[in-house]
């Protein structure tokens, strides 16, 4: 006899678990530097537009398909379109999640290391340049591996406790803590003299910086940040009760995620401006991936109470990374449990070995495997590239096509309104449906073509 499928215990638990998946390194590590590289507020505005007209409808659809199919991504498509080739999309989603987790856990490991150094005082007492500190750490053959595997092990441990006792319980605690901490860091950052310049940079748009690439960057960031296109929302949705309001929950998650990205920006950018002004240098908010690991420690070091701010910040980064890693691992674990008929613990072990194995190569690509290239990219960049630029957009495109064209309109609207029980205005349901059917696939296709051509 099959055991009954697990479900989330409460609405708030489900919302926080999904928000935990969305809020991650994408918000704290990637968003501020992508904003910095793409003209500040103009990027923010574009991001919100993309979010509302493309990503939110796709997210609603992934959620809707997940709840209706009620299984892992592979089985979900088989349940919804029995015997068709669509189930292979589900398998690709599982593969995409495993690939993302393989490089995500490396950056998760770096946050773990910085948290450790912030706790022991090693980060603030360091005398050299933080570029050297970071460079020496990531190129070391052993240390980053250790932190990567520790990070992955902690993720696996939480998942091993199951949906309610592991994922839901830890997401509730971690996301609440994360919000409190990041608000404290924002207060510290905004209270620095000269911080206003940074706030202005974030909220006063400069449209001269908007190019076709800005649009692509905004859309790619929105996909990554909302965790859409690789089966995470689909898998979590399969644990959701049938009476949940899908459109409202998706709206809330997108709202939490975007607010959090803006809050994380407010924690970082004003502080970078303030400290640059104090030191009489130009603020560098477009420092790329090093913004958080190289620029920010220097900023913390120069400000009063910087040690506490650094500790809180890297704790926030670690919590955000782990709640997202949990959702990525759960996609693979659900698949292994249901399709390969393994116990949860066994599935976690398989996933740890698989993603940890690939993660080792991603980590080593900053050190001993520096010269080894796949299609001209380091192993880390290769996984980052194929997942963010290819697998997520293709996954999102196929999800939108399936929801808009394969699932009948009546079924889509039926699922959206819980069989007519919810009072959602018909114009709103139809707008969502047509955004999914026409606008989202076309727009995603454009990102995809751009990725191939660039």
Among 44, 56, 58, 100, binds ligand PFF (CB under 6 A): 100
- Determine, following the binding rule CB under 6 A, whether residue 151 of this chain makes contact with ligand PFF: no
DSSP 330-392: HHHHHHHHHHS---HHHHHHHHHHHHHHHHHHHHHTTTTTTT--BTTB-HHHHHHHIIIIIIH
Burial of 452 (0-12, 13-18, 19+ CB in 10 A): exposed
In angstroms, give the least distance from the CB of 232 to ligand PFF. 4
Nearer to ligand PFF, 148 or 324 (CB): 324
Q: Which is nearer to ligand PFF, 185 or 331 (CB)?
A: 331
Q: How far is the CB of 256 from ligand PFF (least distance, A)?
A: 12
Cα–Cα distances (Å) from 271 to 111, 178, 214, 229, in that order, read 19, 19, 24, 34
- Least Å distance, CB 414 to ligand PFF, is 27
Determine if 324 is a binding residue for ligand PFF (CB under 6 A). yes
Q: Provide the minimum distance between the beta carbon of 403 and ligand PFF in the complex, in angstroms, as a whole number.
A: 17
SS3 (DSSP) at 24: coil
| Residue placing its CB nearer to ligand PFF in the complex, 72 or 227 | 227
Decide if residue 327 touches ligand PFF (CB under 6 A).
yes
Q: Which range binds ligand PFF by CB under 6 A, 42-50, 153-161, 320-328, 418-426?
A: 320-328
On whether the CB atoms of residues 100 and 387 are closer than 8 A, the answer is yes
Given CA atoms 274, 43, 386, 73 in this order, what sign does their dihedral have? Answer: positive
Backbone angles phi, psi at 374, to 5 degrees: -115, 120
Nearest alpha-carbon partner for 435 in 307, 198, 247: 247
Question: Is 89 or 100 the residue whose CB approaches ligand PFF more closely?
Answer: 100
Q: Which CB atom, from 330 or from 415, has the smaller least distance to ligand PFF?
A: 330
Q: Which of 240, 296, 328, 416 binds ligand PFF (CB under 6 A)?
A: 328
The CB-of-293 to ligand PFF minimum distance in angstroms stands at 15
CA 256 to each of CA 17, 195, 231: distance values in angstroms, whole numbers, following the listed order: 12, 24, 20
Sheet strands (E) in 227-330: none
Q: How far is the CB of 313 from ligand PFF (least distance, A)?
A: 16
Nearer to ligand PFF, 232 or 407 (CB): 232
Residue whose CB is less far from ligand PFF, 97 or 365:
97
Q: With binding defined as CB under 6 A, does residue 295 bind ligand PFF?
A: no
Does residue 329 interact with ligand PFF by CB under 6 A? no
- For 408-447, letters b (16+ CB in 10 Å) and e give eeeebbbbbbeeeeeebeeeebeebbebbbebbbebbeeb
Q: Which two tokens stand for residue 427?
A: 């114009």
| Options 19-27, 138-146, 204-212, 284-292: segment touching ligand PFF (CB under 6 A) | 19-27
Minimum CB distance to ligand PFF smaller for 267 or for 274: 267
Backbone angles phi, psi at 59, to 5 degrees: -65, -45
283 backbone dihedrals φ, ψ, rounded to 5°? -70, 135
Q: Which range of residues in 20-28, 115-123, 133-141, 353-361 is near ligand PFF by CB under 6 A?
A: 20-28
Minimum Å gap between C-beta 126 and ligand PFF is 27
Among 6, 14, 20, 26, the residue binding ligand PFF under the rule CB under 6 A is 26
Site string for ligand PFF, 229-258 (x = CB under 6 A): -x-x--------------------------
**What's the Cα-to-Cα distance from 404 to each of 152, 399, 412, 432, rounded to whole Å?**
36, 8, 8, 10
* CB of 343 closer than 8 Å to CB of 201: no
Q: Is 389 in the site for ligand PFF (CB under 6 A)?
A: no
- Binding letters toward ligand PFF, positions 193-232, x by CB under 6 A: -------------------------------xx-x--x-x
Residues that bind ligand PFF (CB under 6 A): 21-22, 24-27, 97, 100, 224-225, 227, 230, 232, 324, 327-328
């Amino acid at each position: 006899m099959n055991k009954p499928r697990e479900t989330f215990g409460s609405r708030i638990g489900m919302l926080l678990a999904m928000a935990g998946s969305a809020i991650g390194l994408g918000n704290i590590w990637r968003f501020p530097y992508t904003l910095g590289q793409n003209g500040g507020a103009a990027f923010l505005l574009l991001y919100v537009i993309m979010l509302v007209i493309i990503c939110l409808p796709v997210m609603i659809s992934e959620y809707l398909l997940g709840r209706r199919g009620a299984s892992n991504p592979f089985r979900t498509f088989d349940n919804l379109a029995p015997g068709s080739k669509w189930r292979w999309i589900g398998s690709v989603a599982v593969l995409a999640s495993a690939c993302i987790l393989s490089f995500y856990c490396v950056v998760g490991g770096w946050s773990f290391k910085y948290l450790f150094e912030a706790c022991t005082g090693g980060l603030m007492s360091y005398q050299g340049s933080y570029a050297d500190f970071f460079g020496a750490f990531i190129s070391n053959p052993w240390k980053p591996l250790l932190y990567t595997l520790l990070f992955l092990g902690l993720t696996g441990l939480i998942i091993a406790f199951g949906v309610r006792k592991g994922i839901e319980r830890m997401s509730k605690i971690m996301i609440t803590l994360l919000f409190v901490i990041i608000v404290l860091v924002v207060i510290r950052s905004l209270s620095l003299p000269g911080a206003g310049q940074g706030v202005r940079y974030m909220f006063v748009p400069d449209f001269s910086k908007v190019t076709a690439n800005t649009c692509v960057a905004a859309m790619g960031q929105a996909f990554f940040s909302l965790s859409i296109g690789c089966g995470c929302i689909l898998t979590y949705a399969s644990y959701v009760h049938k009476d949940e309001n899908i459109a409202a929950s998706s709206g809330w998650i997108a709202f939490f995620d975007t607010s959090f990205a803006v809050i994380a920006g407010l924690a970082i950018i004003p502080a970078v401006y303030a400290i640059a002004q104090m030191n009489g240098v130009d603020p560098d908010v477009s420092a790329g991936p090093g913004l958080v690991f190289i620029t920010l420690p220097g900023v913390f070091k120069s400000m009063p109470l910087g040690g506490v701010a650094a500790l809180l910040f890297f704790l926030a980064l670690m919590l955000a990374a782990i709640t997202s890693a949990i959702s990525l691992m759960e996609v693979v674990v659900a698949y292994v449990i249901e399709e390969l008929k393994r116990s949860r613990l066994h599935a976690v072990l398989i996933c740890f070995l698989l993603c940890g194995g690939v993660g080792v190569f991603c980590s080593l690509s900053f050190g001993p495997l520096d010269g080894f290239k796949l299609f001209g990219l380091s192993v880390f960049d290769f996984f980052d590239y194929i997942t963010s630029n290819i697998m997520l957009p293709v996954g999102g495109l196929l999800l939108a096509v399936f929801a808009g064209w394969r699932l009948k309109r009546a079924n889509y609207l039926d699922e959206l309104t819980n069989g007519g029980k919810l009072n959602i205005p018909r114009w709103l349901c139809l707008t969502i449906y047509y955004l999914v059917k026409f606008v989202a696939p076309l727009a995603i296709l454009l990102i995809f073509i751009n990725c191939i051509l660039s």
